[in-house]
A and B are shown apart, each in its own frame.
Chain A
């Protein structure tokens, strides 16, 4: 088994981990591990100065900056300082056992898709699985932390998909992409911090003051 297959498997295992638990600290760690694996994958795919720089940037953003910002928001939130249960995801729309079943289904779907497109390349399987997991986390979890993690997982999946497909796009575009993701992660971290200060929680399901239903005569 070569290095890239090993990394693809690590990426997929992180996806399973993300679906299986509600402890925010573990979730942040899993997302960071996945980010690091993505960076290493970019590194091992092709070896040049440019890809090295990009891989290093990926690892820096996804495995260092992102977990730092989220952990900081988590530790400084007033809710977490009062009771430890705020360190867990509030009761998700889809329970963890069912989430794991969905996870297995998504893995099957991803394997089928990549078999259709490129005779079952493991990298593409991992890419589709990661994209699906990102979407699943975005719709099935309630806290702002999980939505940020879901976005990062989704973005990582698309990045992986590009790696599996493409012939390489210009450095300027890659750098712009990286910068956008960095800024997105940065702003999300700050927003979560502000939201949990303002509302004493980061539960998106309870952030529903702005709705059409209340705006009618």
Chain B
């Protein structure tokens, strides 16, 4: 049943590769809906763990987010491909698959979905590594879809940095295998967690350090974040949304799996320090780099670094519930904002704040959603991020990190200023009267739905979700 979730998108991707553009788009939408339906079914059925795949609470949580984001991105991307047909698009794989680029793009989107699903549901830690490396490889052709020099450069940096980073995580996985092999345990994350007392702590420490650097690179923690702003700003809007909303979470989950094993083996303090230090650096670096930014997509990208840093701080402060809630809120908000940034980019042909004039009169619906999304992003109520940030700060205080808490509050204030001032400028009404441009439903509905989720998470968290979050926090927090 779980394996179906991986096989269906992969097979559909293969089918899309060899079909015409129109058919490929149908396949994309169909697969996205089927995937969402299957995930919903799994939420109810909760199948028993298999030999290779298992959906525990944490995996299910991230898988559900991935599936929802992918479904909305699929509808967005079809409309996007509709009108971008005459733009410069060629695939880096064009020499292999012929010239028609769109089916190849769609196929790689589906491969991306398959690999993210595998990452969320892998039970074997080696398989988890394989899945994460596969996500890198599947996204490279997506980032440089328009083959501009900038996107080629961004894709190359992304490929090299993430591959090298992830190679370190492989070393960590082998260290863990060595520790597990000595006492005859298999590399399944749940059995390792249960038998963690028997593992050699020296090998475990080495494994955690290597995995932290490796998966941290992919998760966008500073100072390993340098690929992130380039890749997120150069790729097409829907791809940025998926990279930021879904892919960073998968890396976070991988890190949490290793963390859970180390915590169960009594290394909780060692791990918490790593999370606190790197989380704090990420929040600080992102806040400093967000000031006076000209490019709104880069601003959003740095905000991802900040938010993943906050999630890491939450784990370090011993509040995995808050960290997971933060990751969840960030996914929905950021994916919606990246899609909206695509709407603006299409209309204004510029990624500079200063070129966006009179947004409310030109793109009224986009402007409204953009304002709502930015409100959510900077952490104002009634949106969910406000509550997850509140929980995080509370956890930092409760665990006695007063200075960290004060500095993080300061960084959040800097972020607030850095984001809100250029956005207020954008939202000023136009001087000269320009009629509103056409806003297609497919460009408005997906971000609207995602923002509704964030609002819901802020107003009241449904009981079922709350229970899922609690058991996920228990599974990954090692407490």
B360 interface contact, C-beta 8 A? no
Contact of A147 among B160, B167, B234 (CB under 8 A): B160
Cβ A184 vs Cβ B294 within 8 A: no
Q: Which of A54-62, A90-98, A99-107, A189-197 is near enough to bind chain B?
A: A189-197
Residue pairs across A and B with Cβ atoms less than 8 A apart, 29 shown, are: A138-B164, A154-B167, A158-B167, A166-B181, A169-B126, A169-B177, A172-B52, A172-B127, A176-B134, A177-B126, A177-B129, A180-B137, A183-B137, A184-B137, A184-B163, A187-B140, A188-B159, A190-B92, A190-B96, A191-B140, A194-B144, A199-B152, A204-B156, A207-B153, A209-B150, A210-B229, A210-B233, A212-B289, A215-B295
The answer to whether B95 and A216 have CB atoms under 8 Å apart is no
Interface membership of A115, Cβ < 8 A = no
Taking A179-B130, A210-B230, A216-B294 as known contacts, 17 extra A-B pairs with beta carbons closer than 8 A to each other, sorted by chain A number, are A147-B160, A151-B163, A155-B170, A162-B177, A165-B175, A167-B177, A173-B126, A173-B130, A177-B126, A183-B137, A188-B159, A194-B144, A198-B149, A198-B152, A215-B293, A215-B295, A217-B294
**Chain A interface extent, by class:** 35 or more
CB within 8 Å of B: which residues of A? 131, 138, 144, 147, 151, 154-155, 158, 161-162, 165-167, 169-170, 172-173, 176-177, 179-180, 183-184, 187-188, 190-191, 193-195, 198-199, 204, 207-210, 212, 215-217
Question: Which residue from A151, A158, A166, A199 sits with its C-beta under 8 Å from B178?
Answer: A166
Interface flags, B233-244, vs A, CB<8A=1, else 0: 110000000000
Q: Which residues of chain B come closer than 8 Å to A177, judged between CB atoms?
A: 126, 129-130, 170
Could you say which residues of chain B place their CB within 8 Å of the CB of A169? Answer: 126, 177, 187
CB 8 Å contact bits of B126-149 with A (1 = contact, 0 = none):
110110011011001100100101
Point out the residues of chain A lying under 8 angstroms from B95, CB to CB. 190, 193
B340 at the interface (CB under 8 A from A): no
CA A144 – CA B234 in complex, angstroms? Answer: 20
Per the bound structure, the CA–CA distance linking A184 and B171 in Å amounts to 17
A194 surroundings in chain B (CB, below 8 A): 92, 144, 147, 152
Contact A158 B147 (CB under 8 A): no
Is B192 among interface residues, defined by CB-CB distance under 8 A?
no
Least Cβ–Cβ distance between A147 and chain B, in angstroms: 5
Which range holds the interface residue count of chain B? Answer: 35 or more
Q: Is the pair A184, B133 in contact by a Cβ cutoff of 8 Å?
A: yes
In whole Å, how far is B136's beta carbon from the nearest beta carbon of chain A? Answer: 8
Q: Which single member of A183, A198, A215 contacts B294 (CB below 8 Å)?
A: A215
Give the complex CA separation of A177 and B155 in angstroms.
Answer: 22
The one of B134, B181, B229, B293 in contact with A180, judged by C-beta atoms closer than 8 angstroms, is B134
The answer to whether B156 touches A207 (Cβ under 8 A) is yes
Task: Check B198 for interface membership: any CB of A closer than 8 A.
Answer: no
Instruction: Tell me how far the C-beta of A134 lies from the nearest C-beta in chain B, rounded to whole angstroms.
Output: 8
Q: Which A residues lie within 8 Å of B144 (CB)?
A: 191, 194
Inter-chain CA distance A151–B163, complex, in Å, is 8
**A residues less than 8 Å from B324 (CB atoms):** none
Residues of chain A contacted by B154 (CB below 8 angstroms)? 210
With A177-B130, A180-B133 given, is the CB distance from A216 to B292 under 8 Å? yes
Chain A neighbourhood of B229, CB < 8 A: 210, 212
